[in-house]
Amino acid sequence: MTITAADIRRDVKEKDIKFLRLMFTDILGTLKNVEVPATDEQLDKLFENKMMFDGSSIEGFVRINESDMYLYPDLDTWIVFPWGDEYGKVAGVICDVYTPEGLPFAGDPRGVLKRNLKKMEEAGFASFNLGPEPEFFLFKLDGNNEPTLEVNDKGGYFDLAPTDLAGNTRREIVNVLTGLGFEVEASHHEVAVGQHEIDFKYANVLKACDNIQLFKLVVKTIARKHGLHATFMAKPKFGINGSGMHCNMSLFNDKGENVFADAAGDMGLSDTAHSFIAGLLKHAYNFTAITNPTVNSYKRLVPGYEAPVYVAWAGRNRSPLIRVPASRGLSTRVELRSVDPTANPYLALSVLLASGLDGVNNKMEAPEAIESNIYVMTEEERKAHGITDLPSTLHNAVKALREDEVVIEALGTHVFTSFVEAKKIEWASYAQFVTQWEIDNYLELY
């Protein structure tokens, strides 16, 4: 449904909206906003693309001598938040970032995804759909309202009350998401204590990425209301599963047909699907810095906790990096299992789309599907099957990122340069820090 300026003006008046959040995302994936009063004057500026902000303080944006940026609203992302305070109701809209010259800003992650979608269309496809599965943890707050690592339940996979004490929090999150237009498909406790997953229906990739950002905002806001802290950190606690964000992807043509489906093809998959998988596998080692962008991300990508470690693909087998769920026809999709929810969704899906299309455009052939448990294979067996490892640290992942021209082109020079610089600083900070593990293992021994 297309939303017009008149619709928004009517909403502001009828729902007594007092403030507008103009939202955008920085290179590290953090949702930012400029809040303005919902006056006629500010609405006029919004609809005329005249909302200016200082981009020099935003991670990965611009230097102080070129700081002026403009926010162009995507009116179809208009939402009215179900919360407010004594100062009035709040609404929001997601914006694209533009330069004073009226050009899309090269450092805007949402703009990066739009640019890659144009390349997809040039390759003959009409849409790229994404069904994300973001996981998160809920922890208690202390007396100062600061997060702890104490969970408020003892639940496990698909458990229900009384062991799953966060059920009411999840239900309110689902109610709020539904009110905002999300089609929530499932809500359940995950494998680890304190861990949860809420799945919402697939959508075109731009809308799906917008939804991921809004989803995180809603989850954190409602959790705080219940005296909890929600975190999308990949591995907040040692010894239990980390949080992933499996990405279910499919390509469609202008006839509305899923081009990954072919009833006569191997495993019911088309040649396009096999080539898309081949492209993902080829670039997996190099794009992992984008899909798993923090030092902590690599504490999740270890054997024994269900997260993928090895570059391979399969049908129903869940141990490889990529699997193809059983559904066929319009529901045919490729699931990449390595992505974690700290990833910037716009950048992650940009590099995944570019990698898959590289496989399609060059008619790459996927290797054999691995249907046995890779985790129990010996190193020699994995080598015989051509199975390689994902990067084991952020440092190695960033080094690999710098060697892949397809991934770099998908990001663009500005984002690539800014991202690498930020991650080099992050790694250097971590590398200098003395951890408790080192104290425990070395202090007395040496």
Q: Annotated catalytic residue: which of 11, 26, 108, 133?
A: 133
381 vs 389: CA distance, rounded Å: 13
308: DSSP letter: -
47 vs 51: CA distance, rounded Å: 9
Instruction: Tell me, yes or no, if 337 is annotated catalytic.
Output: yes
Instruction: Tell me, yes or no, if 9 is annotated catalytic.
Output: no
Q: Annotated catalytic residue: which of 190, 199, 262, 340?
A: 190
Instruction: Tell me, yes or no, if 197 is annotated catalytic.
Output: yes
Taking a C-beta distance cutoff of 8 angstroms, is the pair 393, 298 a contact?
yes
CA distances from 324 to 53, 95, 268 (A): 44, 34, 10
380 vs 395: CA distance, rounded Å: 26
Amino acid at site 235: K
Please return the burial class of 56, using the count of CB atoms within 10 Å of its CB with bins 0-12, 13-18 and 19+: middle
Of the CA atoms within 13 Å of residue 419, those in its CB half-sphere come to 35
Please return the burial class of 275, using the count of CB atoms within 10 Å of its CB with bins 0-12, 13-18 and 19+: buried
Amino acid at site 236: P
Q: Annotated catalytic residue: which of 337, 340, 395, 404?
A: 337
Q: Annotated catalytic residue: which of 159, 172, 335, 426?
A: 335
Handedness of CA 412, 417, 420, 422 (dihedral sign): negative
Instruction: Tell me, yes or no, if 371 is annotated catalytic.
Output: no
Instruction: Tell me, yes or no, if 54 is annotated catalytic.
Output: yes
Q: Annotated catalytic residue: which of 54, 150, 381, 438?
A: 54
3 vs 6: CA distance, rounded Å: 8
Instruction: Tell me, yes or no, if 421 is annotated catalytic.
Output: no
Instruction: Tell me, yes or no, if 74 is annotated catalytic.
Output: no
Instruction: Tell me, yes or no, if 365 is annotated catalytic.
Output: no
Q: Annotated catalytic residue: which of 11, 26, 108, 135?
A: 135
Taking a C-beta distance cutoff of 8 angstroms, is the pair 198, 134 a contact?
yes
3-state SS class at 188: strand
Handedness of CA 179, 184, 189, 195 (dihedral sign): negative
Residue found by looking up tokens 């992505």 in the block: 339
Q: Annotated catalytic residue: which of 10, 224, 316, 318?
A: 318
Taking a C-beta distance cutoff of 8 angstroms, is the pair 158, 251 a contact?
no
Classify 304 in phi/psi space as left (phi over 0), alpha (psi -120 to 50) or beta.
Answer: left
Angle at 378 between CA 373 and CA 380, to 5 degrees: 120
Taking a C-beta distance cutoff of 8 angstroms, is the pair 323, 315 a contact?
yes
189 phi and psi angles, rounded to 5 deg: -75, 140
Q: Annotated catalytic residue: which of 170, 246, 300, 395?
A: 246
CA distances from 201 to 186, 237, 241, 437 (A): 9, 29, 24, 41
Instruction: Tell me, yes or no, if 380 is annotated catalytic.
Output: no
Q: Annotated catalytic residue: which of 197, 210, 262, 358?
A: 197
Catalytic residues: 54, 133, 135, 190, 197, 246, 318, 335, 337
